[in-house]
Structure 1
Amino acid sequence: MKALHIITGLGVGGAEQQLRLLLRHLPVDCDVVTLTNPGPVADDLTADGVRVTHLGMSGNRDLTALPRLVRLIRAGGYDLVHTHLYRACVYGRLAARLAGVRAVVATEHSLGESQMEGRRLSAGVRELYLASERLGRATVAVSPTVAERLKLWGVPGPRIEVVPNGIDLARFRFDPALRERTRRRLGLPEGAYVVGGVGRLTAGKRFDVLIRALAQLPPDFWLLLVGGGPEENVLRRAAQRAGVADRVLLTGERVAGGRPGADLPSLLTAMDVLASPSTEEAFGLAVVEAMAAGLAVVYVSCPAIEDLRAGTANGSRRVQGSAGSFARALLGIRAEGPRPRTVPAAAHHYCITRSAAQLMDVYAAVSSTPSGNPPWGVSSV
């Protein structure tokens, strides 16, 4: 099987990193097209031996990109096209059908209750999404929560397959020696209790809540924010106003040790707890990665935990989302004393090899379905 993955961009982001990790574990010959922004993840994919093509799309309404994409798909002789993120799903599914490819799959990475990829969910966004969705054979949801949202939108249930995001468990295994080295490199004082936040620095991630919570905590609490984004300077100013700028560390997109995300395991080892203040998550990848590092987690929204049976995510605690609720929860976790950095069952549930195998089942189903017939009844996990 030869597959083409089409994604809106390859900058730093969860969907982009997830695509790279999946391609490392899929037993399929895969190429990648990025419509825009061939950023750091494009370089990483190329280093992995994946052929990456930048389509050079100038904006959402650059219709000239469509015939270019159709020609590329035809020339590649692909058996299957898999699209990721909103713009790529709209253009990619149409281009695949025009190019004669019928096995078309899309992954919905970030559908929230009121937004998708940071854009407000309007009637126009929904209708365009649904119109293009009918051109595919299956839509993959990264969590049962996202699957339910797709159904509420109007996507027929039998067309939806749940394939959760996956992680490389071994990559996040706790290393006490690495923890000490990383904390020294970051300049953290001995005995500092480090609260971590991981993700794009955007308004929707609500990292300002953690800054306000830090102001309510004792002076040995520190905040380590891993990631970059448009809100970085906003957060720095918020820390100054709150009087905690000397206890807030922001790594930016390119952290020490190489490319974005390359140093994430070491930064997680330096933390004592991870806090996720976002109120609208499609999965909660940072929380799962933190659990794989043996961290306690405090979160507002995390389908990756909420969709599992109770007791599988030991060490996790859900809060309402205010600065005060985070401050109280963090004080409570520290009062419980040091916890073993063991990996809960929830993290094992999201092993990348398991997710890749589930996706291969979807590929097999859509590839074997006769033209014109949707793949009803594919097993969802």
Structure 2
Amino acid sequence: MVKEVQKRKINKEEEIHISSSDSSSGDEKELMLKNPLKWWSLQGKRNPTETKRITLPSTIKLIYVTLAFVPRLALYGLVFALGQCCRAVAKLFCSSVGAPHLANKRILYISDYMPPQVHGIALRVSQYTKYLRSNGHEVHVYTCCVESRARTSFDHPTLPFVANPFNSGNQISYTAGIKLAWALGAESWDIVHVFYPNALGLFVLPACRWRGIASYCSHHVAMDDYANRYLQIPGSPLLQRIMFLLYNFLYDACYRWPASYWGDVNASMTQTFVKRHLPLAAKYSHVATIGSGVDTQRFQRRIPTNPDLLWLWCDSQCASEREALCKRIGAPTNAIIWLMVQRLAPEKDIHIALDALASLAQQRKKMNKELDVWLVIAGDGPAREGLEKRAEQLFTNDKNAPGRVTFLGAVPNARLPSLYRAANVFLTCSRSETFGLTVTEALACGACVALPRCPVFDELYGHVLPESWRYDADDKCGGHLALIDAAQAAASIEASAWLEANPIDASWSAAAQDLDRQYDQAVKRGKTKYTSLRSYVQKRLIHLGRASLLLVAFYFVLSYYWRNIYCAAQCRIFLPSLPKPVRALCILTFIIALEWCHC
């Protein structure tokens, strides 16, 4: 029997299929009324190739979050103010608050994403945290969840969150939480780093500006592309337009405007993305490029087999990795393997690769040749089921190209290096990337890549990689024919020799060091900007507060002593021959002397 495309197992919950057709619309409405939460959870399983539509439960969730957001924001503002009052009292009593600058920094990270969440931002935050802590800095991370086995006393998974409507496997925070509000108000920080997308900038950045703490905002996702893909209301273009305008307003009010106006530094992996995504950032803040990298101890094409021989190409291990992959997908060892590693979502445009492979199969069929290319897709997501059906329609009935597409599902990060080394070429069709971490990982493992032309990849690889490895995804034929040419060029022997002679060097340690330098510059700019006026006002307020406390203390002490001294003077117990005012003054002097000696 002809080998079919591998399919994932469908659990009992997935067997309930809700269709948008007229025949099942009544059942769908009945389920929505009886169990709206279950109905909402099943919406992403209707047809993963289509974008998720805004429906009644999502609107209810949005209203709930909005209603809960405002009072919680006010509560956290009170907690922040209480923390500031405690700091003021501590400074009045000459506490060590505001200690002199130390060699290491106290850094506050605020991010929705941390492992075990599978996301490029989660990996980035964890690597920055790892290397900055190894350099002696105190990095506190406030997030939604943290791996229990890797959690430290500096990790705080305390942010209130809801499920991400675009990716149900991840969580997004919508308010700061009591613990973060107290930390911002009462503790000392050198810099606060907010990883966007994040809804907490509306609270965190004004607090940092109030306290004069340097703030660093890094942007990692093009939310505009998500809105264009997911905010769809079929049959009502006017309502869809209104929802899109409302989404843009909320996104600007909670994300873009606070970061642009109150953030000291706005950064992303490319200058192109920052200028397009935050047009006002360059006017009101400093714009920078945040470093990226890979784990060079795992993602490498040369494997250290013998320390005395330095780095050698381990042919046997690489051959075994390729043999294992070929055996898994049912391909000969001399096959050409196209590899894709990404989340299976509509914005990734994976269908272009399927169309390209189908067109290549038709070309080989006309030449009476068998297709020698296999496409391997690693990853999971809402579009997987639709992509599997599409691949089955394209290749199952084609006797010239049976079983040419294999879906591996979610692959652990630790197993990705062997997957990259076993492939001939790495493909990506997404033009919504802000960096494309998997591209760097593939290049570090010695896999040549085929990339679409887009502003981000043009800035990153336009003058680095050969032009023949890139293709125009906006081609009139849909981009799949141009992808065939780029993939064949990247899979050639000349391409492997070029990459061997021009390796890509990108490590997280170097990226963390560069980020550390940017932190120092941001702190220095913040001191220059706020220190003069802030220190002058702060010193005057501290002196005024201390004087007020001393006056109040002296008033109560002297009132108490004067009442007792006056009574003693009237009884003529002490110094009977002296006038009453002189007796009172002498007794007061004696008591003050005793108190002074006691102190």
TM-score between both structures, scaled by the size of structure 1: 0.81
The Cα offsets for residues 30-55 of structure 1, whole Å up to 9 and x where unpaired, read as 122223xx3xxx32882688634242
Instruction: Quote the sequence identity (%).
Output: 22
Instruction: Say if 2:525 is the partner of 1:366.
Output: no
More strand by share: 1
Number of paired residues? 364
Specify the alignment match of 2:319 in structure 1.
180
Relative contact order, higher structure (CA 8 A, sep 6+): 1
Which of 348, 357, 366 pairs up with 1:214? 357
Structure 1, 226-235 or 263-272: larger mean CA deviation: 226-235
Gaps of 5+ in 1: 376-381
The Cα offsets for residues 124-175 of structure 1, whole Å up to 9 and x where unpaired, read as 3134323321232111221122232245355527521112322233422115
Q: Is the 8 A contact 2:160 2:174 kept in 1?
A: no
Which of 204, 226, 238 pairs up with 1:93? 204
Structure 1, 67-76 or 130-139: larger mean CA deviation: 67-76
Question: C-alpha distance in 2, partners of 1:91/1:119?
Answer: 24
1:1-381 superposed matches below 5 A:
1-10=105-114, 11-26=117-132, 27=135, 28-35=137-144, 38=145, 42-43=146-147, 46=150, 51-58=155-162, 65-74=176-185, 77-88=188-199, 90=201, 93-94=204-205, 96-97=207-208, 100=211, 102-111=213-222, 114-115=225-226, 122-133=248-259, 134-152=261-279, 155-156=282-283, 158-175=285-302, 176-186=315-325, 187-188=328-329, 189=331, 190-218=333-361, 219-243=371-395, 246-253=403-410, 255=411, 260-301=412-453, 305-307=457-459, 311-314=463-466, 317-321=469-473, 322-334=479-491, 339-340=496-497, 342=499, 347-348=504-505, 350-370=506-526, 373=529
User: What's the CA shift for 1:305?
Assistant: 4.8
Question: C-alpha distance in 2, partners of 1:294/1:86?
Answer: 32
Question: C-alpha distance in 2, partners of 1:240/1:171?
Answer: 34
Change (3 A) 1:366 1:153: closer
The Cα offsets for residues 205-244 of structure 1, whole Å up to 9 and x where unpaired, read as 1112111212223432111222222222222112111116
User: What's the CA shift for 1:56?
Assistant: 3.2
Q: Is the 8 A contact 1:296 1:315 kept in 2?
A: no
What amino acid is the match of 2:496?
Answer: R
Question: C-alpha distance in 1, partners of 2:435/2:249?
Answer: 24
Q: Is the 8 A contact 1:79 1:101 kept in 2?
A: no
Change (3 A) 1:48 1:210: farther
More helix by share: 2
Larger radius of gyration: 2
Question: C-alpha distance in 1, partners of 2:153/2:499?
Answer: 34
What amino acid is the match of 2:320?
Answer: R
What amino acid is the match of 1:173?
Answer: Q
TM-score between both structures, scaled by the size of structure 2: 0.54
Gaps of 5+ in 2: 1-104, 165-171, 232-246, 303-314, 362-370, 397-401, 474-478, 532-599
What amino acid is the match of 1:281?
Answer: E
What amino acid is the match of 2:480?
Answer: A
Q: Is the 8 A contact 1:93 1:132 kept in 2?
A: no
Change (3 A) 1:47 1:286: same
- What secondary structure does 2:347 align onto? helix
